[in-house]
Amino acid sequence: MASTSESSASPQGQAEKPVVIVTVGMAGSGKTTFMQRLNAHLFQNQEPRYVMNLDPAVAKLPFQCNLDIRDSVNYKKVMEEHRLGPNGAIMTSLNLFTTKVDQVLNILEKRAVPDPENPSRKPVKTILVDTPGQIEVFVWSASGTILLDSLASSFPTVIAYIVDTTRACSTSTFMSNMLYACSILYKTKLPMVVVFNKTDIQDAGFAKEWMTDYEAFREALDGDENKNAFGGQDGGSGYMASLLNSMSLMLEEFYSHLKVVSVSSVKGTGIDDFMDAVKEKVHEFNTVYQPELDRRRAEREEIKKKQREKELEKMMRDMSMDGLTAAAPEENKSDDEDVQEPTPDGDSDDEIDDENDREGLQARYAASLLGKDSVTEEASFAKYLHSQRNATQ
Ligand SMILES: Nc1nc2c(ncn2[C@@H]2O[C@H](COP(=O)(O)OP(=O)(O)OP(=O)(O)O)[C@@H](O)[C@H]2O)c(=O)[nH]1
């Protein structure tokens, strides 16, 4: 039997990390059932695992999970309180959950190593994550991205894209599924295993063939066209066939990056193949994705560092300007003179402008040093001083 644990060691030989498997797929494709099957498979092989449910709208889970988004967010309440539809409420629930991502990672990090207080508890080797059926809500939302990025920054992470094989038999539904998978691959930038599920009802041989043999797909397209499967009139059918044909050519490169397995989540067939595929993808994660993630992280750090340097430079400039403008009046008159004996032209505009400038600089300086609240405080204090001064004049 293939084990994911042996594959999670980094190329540098660092300590083994648990592998995260995130199931993504269209509604009803069988994500939860697949998750249940994986969970049972790992249990049978006595592999310590950690199961997370990120679907706030699921009514009942057929397995026990360690971390359930429903424990921290009440989807129905979110819907009522924010007057949202189902998708909006799922997205808001995910957003709320994402605010706790640090805590989630902390828990996972702790479970990934031996617990000195509980030596009999084995470190987790696999983290299973179930996601909402509304793919776009998870994959294309900011919270979904943050959650996936956070997981991938700590552990090797693989996407399991679940396809309902019975609903991918025609060339057009197959292509829709593949385009979805392609967009997820490029959005998440994580290694992917395509899981053709429900193969107890429909064998996935045709799909595998279409993905490796362009001519086979072309023939299937011709067949669909002859049967007028695209239902087009006035050449509409021809347009669909040629579009699908072009897309298939375009997707050839994408197919070459995928690992494809056939599974029946109900019967439990193909799970070993899936685990082997995950093992391969973890290796890819460590050798290809991880360096790329590190590069992107270093790039972000560099940008942040430059921004900080820029702000510091600006602050230093502000401070030295502040010193100059503040010194000038002190050279000529005392504070008392300044307040009690105005110049003949009264509160000269120049003087007030000068004062305003100084107040602005002081406020900005305070902003740099003290943070936002203090800025408001400092600015209003300066304003107060200014009004007091005008009142005495
Ligand atoms: N025959 C068969 N049915 C399956 C298989 N996997 C899932 N199903 C059925 O497909 C239906 C949907 O399965 P779920 O696991 O709820 O699908 P899901 O993708 O989690 O659904 P959402 O979370 O609502 O998107 C259920 O009736 C399952 O019993 C399978 O391998 N074979």
Supply the residue whose CA is at minimum distance from atom 21 of ligand 1: 28
pLDDT at 212: 87
- Mean pLDDT of all residues belonging to the chain: 79
Query: Which stretches of the chain drop beneath a pLDDT of 50?
Result: 1-13, 235, 326-358, 360-362, 364-382, 384-385, 388-389, 391-393
DSSP state of 53: E
pLDDT at 338: 41
Ligand 1 atom showing the smallest separation from residue 132 Cα: 23
Each residue's pLDDT tens digit, 267-305: 999 999 999 999 999 999 999 888 888 888 888 888 988
- Mutation to probe ligand 1, out of 22, 33, 51 (largest number of atoms < 8 A from CB): 33
pLDDT at 213: 85
pLDDT at 25: 92
Supply the residue whose CA is at minimum distance from atom 4 of ligand 1: 198
Instruction: Put the strands of the sheet holding 126-130 in their side by side order.
Output: 67-68, 49-53, 126-130, 19-25, 157-164, 192-197, 259-262
Supply the residue whose CA is at minimum distance from atom 5 of ligand 1: 198
Give residue 55 CA to ligand 1 midpoint distance, Å. 14
pLDDT at 352: 44
Q: Say how many C-beta atoms besides its own lie within 10 A of residue 250's C-beta.
A: 11
Each residue's pLDDT tens digit, 92-126: 999 999 998 999 999 999 999 988 888 888 999 99
Give residue 242 CA to ligand 1 midpoint distance, Å. 33
pTM of the model: 0.73
Q: CA–CA separation, 372 vs 29, rounded Å?
A: 48
pLDDT at 248: 76
Ligand 1 atom showing the smallest separation from residue 134 Cα: 25
Supply the residue whose CA is at minimum distance from atom 14 of ligand 1: 30
Give residue 384 CA to ligand 1 midpoint distance, Å. 67
CA dihedral 210, 216, 217, 218 (to 10 degrees): 160
- Mutation to probe ligand 1, out of 36, 136, 265 (largest number of atoms < 8 A from CB): 265
Alpha-carbon radius of gyration of the chain: 31
CB 53 within 8 A of CB 70: yes
Identify the three-state secondary structure at position 230: coil
Q: Which residues approach ligand 1 with their CB closer than 6 A?
A: 25, 27-33, 55, 133, 197-198, 200-201, 264-266
pLDDT at 22: 96
Q: For the chain, how are helix, strand and coil distributed in percent, rounded to 5? A: 60, 10, 30
pLDDT at 323: 60
Give residue 265 CA to ligand 1 midpoint distance, Å. 8
